[in-house]
Amino acid sequence: MVTPNPDFYNEIAANGGADVKMCFQCGTCTAGCPSGKETAYRTRKVMRMAQLGLKDELLNTDDIWQCTTCYTCEERCPRGVPIVDTILAIRNIAIQQGKMYDAHKKTANNLVKYGHTVDLNDKVKAMRASLGLPEVPPTVLANEKASADFAKILAKTGFDKLVE
């Protein structure tokens, strides 16, 4: 039994997806979505579910994590719907409820661990060395103060706890 949540639209709006009501379901977004070509993900369907307030169904589907944020859909949408912002808003709501796709959690944890989203393991270090690059890239990792400052920001915003 599907139970629409009339407050969900406002929740999405509060997280940046305010214009999702502008969608008139033409399907242009789905037609050009590269993720949809590889998976069962359908952008138009997510927009419709958001309009209808199908919160539980959306938060518990893998669909909201399939978007790569390439913005092809937004470039083509005839109604100017902020599709990516809407998907990100729904993801934010999901994360606040402790729901996060494993791959995204792993990437987020890299940010906590390394200061950026790319893993820096021994294999990557060896690959960098074989290319004549320093094993540690010149990011926050190579700067103790920047690394400490970044860790403080993650702790202050609660990001580290959120993705634990």
Which residues of this chain interact with ligand SF4, rule CB under 6 A? 23-29, 32-35, 43-44, 47, 67-73, 77-79, 81, 83-84
Q: How far is the CB of 109 from ligand SF4 (least distance, A)?
A: 23
Q: How far is the CB of 15 from ligand SF4 (least distance, A)?
A: 17
The residue among 71 and 129 lying less far from ligand SF4, judged by its C-beta, is 71
Tokens of 95: 């994360």
The residue among 45 and 55 lying less far from ligand SF4, judged by its C-beta, is 45
Q: How far is the CB of 48 from ligand SF4 (least distance, A)?
A: 8
Tokens of 6: 């009339």
Rounded to 5 degrees, φ, ψ at 142 are -90, 5
Cβ atoms of residues 12 and 50 within 8 Å: yes
Q: How far is the CB of 106 from ligand SF4 (least distance, A)?
A: 19
Cβ atoms of residues 139 and 110 within 8 Å: no
The residue among 9 and 114 lying less far from ligand SF4, judged by its C-beta, is 9
d(CA 162, CA 13): 21
